[in-house]
Amino acid sequence: MTQHPATAAPGKSAAPAAVPRIALVGVHGFGERHLANLARLQEAGRLELAAVADPSPPRPGTLADAVAVFPDLGALLAAQPDIDVAILATPIQTHAPLAIAALSAGMDVFVEKPPVASLSQFNDVLAAARNAGRLVQVGFQSLGSAALPALAGVVGSGEIGDVLGLSATGQWVRSKAYFNRSRWAGKRSLDGVDVVDGVATNALAHAVATALHVAGARTLADVVSVETDLYRAHDTESDDTSVLRIRTAHGTTLLCALTLCGPEQLDPSVTVHGTLGDITLYYTRDELVVSTPNGERRGTFGRTGLLEDLLEARSTGGPLLCALEDTGAFTAVLEAIRTSPAPAPIGAAHVTWEGEDDDAHPVVTGIADLMERAAKAQATFAELGVPWARHLPPARTLTLDGRPVAEYQDGSHIRAVSSPRPYLHPVRTLGGTVVTDHQPLDHVWHLGVGIALQDVDGVNFWGGRTYTRDAGQYTWRPDHGSIAVTGTGAAETAARSGGAAGKLQESLSWNGPDGAPLLREERTWAWSGVAPSIWRLCLDFVLSPAGDKPVSLGSPGSNGRFEGGYGGFFWRLPACANATVWTADGTGESETHGSSARWLAWSGKFDAGPATLVFVAPEGSTDPWFVRVDGYPGVGQSLAWDTPVIAEPGSPVRRQITVFVADGSLATTDIEALIAQQGDQS
């Protein structure tokens, strides 16, 4: 709710002055913009600039002779000028004490962003405003844009379908000079006082505040949780490259991906992602872009100045566009950042410096694509496995002779529309080459190595859009399930020929969107060394109905998509050069996709070197291979190529596969000898 003057402060009349008298505290930096705006409004007869306060006086000739000049707000208040509104354009750490002083003196306040440096300060200033019966407007200028109600109208009309989530992205360039401009710049605290400067709380705070507004999150109560993933390339205390994931009380997830270390400066934006399209607000230019299958349209809107809005509210008693209490959601984000561990430095190997001396600025390698990927997957940099990000400990690590060969992820951080499920990533060769990918930009629901199906009695356990026979295309539907581990057998590790080995047995529940189980699964992972440069991964899974009725297991192929029978076991590879895929009978995607050869091999040059994967089906298997090379690198064994498979009570569906993971390039003769030597592991 917005405060309105309830009682007059001592020495002030209950009615606002016809021409309000304004004091500007802080005339340099952003204060210069306020001076220009105040001059414009004074010329229009809207206000009178009566006083300014700054320890460094404005340049001679900047102000009219009638404007009183003070070294600070304390001196201004001691002089007792008849001031109606105080504008605070001062360092972050001074906002709260100055606002409380001005409010206590009976002034309405316009405070620049961020309004405070902690949740405690927020509560203190809010209490001071209520006790004084005065107004506090916060300088998030974008919230005065007429594009915001227009955006809400588009979302409300259903033109972009149901909302999947929101994202805010900002890529700016900031040099060393930016952080050398003042003592507080780039600081989390200064002389024991909170500052909380940073990309999300100051430089690109408008992106966060605007996105929260669009998400319907204004007050503290509107925010359920804030997850922070903070990094820095500059030699500062504060973060300059970060991801925030905010969950609101309305059930919306907002992902903010922000950096001051981009290769170029781009206009920041807020996007609402829908099932039928997206709508993006470029808030610095008040432009909306609506994108749907029917095309794209753009519109530019006007903006109400927040000082003018404050003056209007003083006269009419109407609500403020950005009242202090309506920045409670933003303050919840700021508080999460304030109390987070210090931002982790980004390794020098991942940063390129451009320019010299104070003009030098860092560029984080690939940051534009990483931010896009984070926004699309609603994932943090750490969850994406970005090499310079913090390492998130996996649920389990698969090792051979003390060397990690795979990490087991429980999938708990995966967004709901990507069908959360357990998977292996990264999977490595014995030489350390990573041969899996997860949450890639092209299909953020692809998750390393695991089991997924797009149609289990109409529930999508694959993620992303669903292909249906009726639609004849992929569409977003609220049909996403999740797979959760319900029990784990003791992992066995024993010495075997060729090195150590391990086994992991799991019980899992395949749950629908309502949480009700559809399938029960028993899954076994087994891994063992084969040769100094080869190890073997075996997967066995059994799917049974959770109830007493049959369950249909299908795919896009079984629903009418030609040769789209993916589902079951799937291995998403990372990008690799010179990729070659082949079986004993053919080479290339066209000759291997849909074939039922006993084995299929993939060889290529990955980031850390060449590697070969050999996928081996059990003897007698007729499940076709699903192969993608050109569109994206992936291999699967189709469980329901063009016809559903039925899991019956008492008659479950069982599948097995073995994968040999090898450093270097293997030839067909090597592969056949390897399979003959190792035998049928199923």
Digit-coded pLDDT (tens) for 566-585: 999 999 999 999 999 999 99
pLDDT, tens digit (0-9, with 9 covering 90-100), for 91-123: 999 999 999 999 999 999 999 999 999 999 999
Tokens representing residue 324 in the block: 């202090």
**Hey, what CATH class is 393-678 in?**
mainly beta
Residue 680 — pLDDT band, cuts 50, 70, 90? low
CATH superfamily of 144-301+330-382: Dihydrodipicolinate Reductase; domain 2 (3.30.360.10)
Q: Is the pLDDT of residue 333 over 80?
A: yes
CB of 146 closer than 8 Å to CB of 302:
yes
Place of tokens 């102000």: 63
Q: Is 457 left (phi over 0), alpha (psi -120 to 50) or beta?
A: left
pLDDT of 277 above 50: yes
Please say whether the beta carbons of 271 and 182 come within 8 A: no
- 14 pLDDT above the threshold of 80: no
Q: How do residues 179-232 score in pLDDT, each as one tens digit?
A: 999 999 999 999 999 999 999 999 999 999 999 999 999 999 999 999 999 999
Are 627 and 613 in contact by the 8 Å Cβ rule? The answer is: no
pTM of whole model > 0.85?
yes
CA nearest 108: which of 22, 13, 2, 18? 22
pLDDT tens digits for 523-538?
999 999 999 999 999 9
pLDDT tens per residue across span 126-174:
999 999 999 999 999 999 999 999 999 999 999 999 999 999 999 999 9
Report which of 194, 12, 217, 185 is spatially closest to residue 103, judged by C-alpha positions: 12
Whole-angstrom distance, CA of residue 79 vs CA of residue 104: 15
CA distances from 496 to 263, 401, 553 (A): 51, 11, 37
Q: Pull the structure tokens for residue 143.
A: 């919230």
| Chain mean pLDDT for the chain | 94
pLDDT at 500: 80
Per-residue confidence at 289, pLDDT binned at 50, 70, 90? very high
How many C-beta neighbours within 10 Å does residue 163 have?
A: 17
Please list, residue by residue across 14-33, b when 16 or more beta carbons sit within 10 angstroms of its beta carbon and e when fewer do: eebbeebbbbbbbbbeebee
Confidence of residue 678 (pLDDT cuts 50, 70, 90): confident
With 70 as the cut, is the pLDDT of residue 321 above it? yes
pLDDT of residue 61: 87
Length of the chain: 682
Q: How many CB atoms lie within 10 A of CB 677?
A: 9
What pLDDT, in 10s, does the model give residues 385-426?
999 999 999 999 999 999 999 999 999 999 999 999 999 999
- Whether residue 351 is predicted with pLDDT greater than 50 in this model: the reply is yes
**pLDDT of res. 7:** 31
Give the span between the Cα atoms of 172 and 258, in whole angstroms.
8
In sign, the C-alpha dihedral spanning 265, 274, 459, 410 is: positive
Cβ-based neighbours of 500, under 8 Å, separated by 6 or more: 399, 400, 401, 402, 493, 494, 528, 529
Q: Is the pLDDT of residue 474 over 80?
A: yes
Tell me what pLDDT residue 80 has: 86
CATH fold of 21-142 reads Rossmann fold (3.40.50)
pLDDT at 8 over 90: no
Segments of 311-453 assigned E as strands: 344-345, 351-354, 361-364, 396-400, 403-409, 423-427, 449-452
Domain boundaries, the chain: 21-142, 144-301+330-382, 393-678
Lowest mean pLDDT among 62-76, 370-384, 483-497: 483-497
> What value does the mean pLDDT take over residues 329-338?
98
Encode pLDDT of 496-525 as tens digits.
Answer: 434 489 999 999 999 999 999 999 999 999
